[in-house]
Amino acid sequence: MKPLLSWLDDPTIFRVGQLAAHSDHQHFLNQKEIGNKQSSFVTSLNGQWQFNFAKDPQSRNRHFFESDFDSASFEQINVPGHIELAGFDQIQYINTLYPWEGKTYRRPVGSLKDDVKQQAPFSEDDDNSVGQYLTQFDSPHRENNEKCILRFEGVDKAMYVWINGTFIGYSEDSFTPSEFDITDYLKPHGNKLAVEVFKRSSASYIEDQDFFRFFGIFRDVSLITQPKFHIYDLDIKPTTEENLTVGRLNIGIKLTASAAIIGGNVKLAVADANGKLLFDETSDLDTHIEFSDLRITNVHLWSHNNPYLYRLTLSVFDENGNLLELIPYQFGFRKMEIKNNVILLNHQRLIISGVNRHEWNDKTGRCITKQNMLDDLDTFDKLNINAVRTCHYPDQIEWYHLCDTLGIYVMAENNLESHGSWQKMGAVEPSYNVPGSLPQWREAVVDRARSNYELLKNHPSILFWSLGNESYAGDDIAAMDQYYHDMDDSRLTHYEGVVYTPEYRSRISDVESRMYASPAAIRQYLTNHPDKPYLNCEYMHSMGNSVGGMKEYDDLIHDFESYQGGFIWDFIDQALLVKDEVTGKPVLRYGGDFDDRHSDYSFSGDGLLFADRTLKPAAQEVKYFYGQY
């Protein structure tokens, strides 16, 4: 297949050669590897790569991916990381308007009746930086028929990939893993991986989040070998009977086979949190396997106060009885429902004492460590925070596992925001809104819903699927909502942007969600025959010296059963620690401090924490009110 640069312009092309999205389980060779949390099937490709920066598509090197290309002139870059923070491209912070504001004129494909005259907006326009990455690796050890998958956890904004000079795929959706089967392209030693990353593409329209606009390979890259029979998707469906004392477990398995299935089996073991074995079942090997209707009496429910997790282990054996892989997964039973206009978790009214959390590190941007996550969860515990909205994209996978373990309720948000297409200078002006009801954009956004669902479906911590943030509403977002309802009856859908399009109210969002509504406005909604339970997806804007008046929101919890709390905006200031050009001391800088224009300056400094993860003074107020429940 020949890669085309015009894919950058075309919203209907967002994944080429990628493997289908699947659950986020890991596979291991044996119990010891599980204990060490280190799978020998996984080889990290993180580290120093060769790198060439081009300020626009025209000046990029057109041969860099070729096997015999001489890359002596290339520089070095650390993977993962943002290209801007490595010093190659200008740092920019901007909120709602598109980052090319005032620099180049663009309109989304299909959004205006007569498509405006514009050059191929991303492939030919010179406002589009390019990062060209090269690295070499030896093939990981593989048994016969084992496959090798190349996996990127997150690459912003659009990426073309070559192995040994052969094009293998293209992907968008910056915050979602991309996988490519490279088995057939590998040689034993010195494989050359070439990745070309563009700062902008049509996906820029739907990734207009309020944050520093970084590009590049910013999450882990790894090689994953898979045995000849491999569980690639695991669908754990724990349900409860009405009285909540009996749990029922259905497990669906999809298996890939790179050799003929002539026997073999999959063993399932389920243990409780103390390791006591509850089920031990075996099924013949097949491409689809179901373990159905496993019944647990006196089931332990999962909740914030008692995040009880059962332990599933799947073992795959070949026809000779050889263990090929082991898959551990922890899951929980909990019941989410709306009754009498109140969201109930395990028959109890759900009260969300939440925060919005961007992944942030003041030195490395959105490239964060597990320690950052643990520190954040420690702060959650200190401040009595019980819920998080992953604004406005899926987080690193580890985050969801930690939330399962620690009992943090998650609103799992899609990587979707098109703010600049419908709101300008504060006014609602959706004349060229995307995705809207445009057919050209529908698959791109439904694919994001699918990826988010398939990847994260087994996490008990996820109570809500959030369709996206501040993208207005139309048939396309309604299709995302429909997708989640088709796939999942154990969670609710959430979307705020439908407040502007009441005609979609019945098709989008199970909850009435608003942002920054005053306590008086919320009171008005709740006293006038509300038809959906209410939550604040964003409230208490913690910019600078703020977070006054929390009591007015707290009062609503006491006054209205259908008021379910909300998520404070937000958890941590997004500012960058840099060396002061005058004193040489480390200082925190914000938008506009890098000569970046157009900018929204300090507007990303809205955290309960300063960017260096120290608490703002208002934290004691949050701790107090959130500690009431």
Partner 1 sequence: MDNIKEQMHVVYGDGTLGLNGLNYRYIFSYEAGGLESMLIDGKEWVYRTPRPLFWRATTDNDRGNHFSEKSAVWYSADMFSTCQKIKVAVNGHPIELPVAPVNNQYTSDEVSNDVDICFTFVTATSPQTTVDMNYHVEHDGEIKLTAYYHGNDQLPELPVFGIRMVMPTVATSFDYCGLSGETYPDRMAGAQQGQFHVDGLPVTKYLIPQDCGVHMNTESLLVNRQTTLNNADTDDNEFSLKIHQSAQPFAFSCLPYTSEELESATHQEELPVPRRTVLSVMGAIRGVGGIDSWGADVEPPYHISAGEDIEFSIVLNAQS
Which residues in this chain contact partner 1 in the complex, by CB under 8 A?
426, 516, 518-519, 539-552, 573, 575, 580, 582-583, 585, 587-590, 593, 602-603, 605-606, 610-611, 616-618, 620-625
The one catalytic residue among 470, 496, 512, 621: 470
Rounded-to-integer distance, Cα 112 and Cα 8, Å? 19
By beta-carbon proximity to partner 1, the closer residue of 127 and 593 is 593
**CB 578 to partner 1: min, Å:** 11
The one catalytic residue among 84, 417, 454, 538: 538
By beta-carbon proximity to partner 1, the closer residue of 266 and 619 is 619
Rounded-to-integer distance, Cα 628 and Cα 617, Å? 19
Sheet containing 166-171: order of strands: 15-16, 166-171, 158-163, 191-198, 130-137, 47-54, 75-79
**CB 582 to partner 1: min, Å:** 8
| Enclosing H/E stretch for 235 | strand 229-240
**CB 612 to partner 1: min, Å:** 8
Provide DSSP, 346-395.
Answer: TTEE--EEEEE----BTTTBT---HHHHHHHHHHHHHTT--EEE-TTS--
Peptide bond into 598 cis (omega under 30): yes
**CB 498 to partner 1: min, Å:** 20
Altogether, the residues listed in the chain come to a count of: 629
**CB 616 to partner 1: min, Å:** 7
By beta-carbon proximity to partner 1, the closer residue of 55 and 623 is 623
By beta-carbon proximity to partner 1, the closer residue of 356 and 542 is 542
Pick from 421, 579, 534: nearest CA to 11: 421
Q: Helix count (H) and strand count (E) of the chain?
A: 8, 37
Query: Which single residue is written with the structure tokens 């930086």?
Result: 129
By beta-carbon proximity to partner 1, the closer residue of 143 and 552 is 552
By beta-carbon proximity to partner 1, the closer residue of 257 and 499 is 499
**CB 569 to partner 1: min, Å:** 9
**CB 349 to partner 1: min, Å:** 23
| Enclosing H/E stretch for 404 | helix 397-406
* Catalytic-residue membership of 84: no
* Catalytic-residue membership of 33: no
DSSP 232: E
By beta-carbon proximity to partner 1, the closer residue of 72 and 425 is 425
Provide DSSP, 53-119.
Answer: EESSGGGS-TTTTSTT---TT-EEEEESS-TTTTTSS---EESSS-TTTTT-----TTSSSSPPP-S
Query: Which single residue is written with the structure tokens 């626009």?
Result: 56
Q: Is residue 318 helix, strand or coil?
A: coil
Burial of 358 (0-12, 13-18, 19+ CB in 10 A): buried
Positions marked catalytic:
470, 538
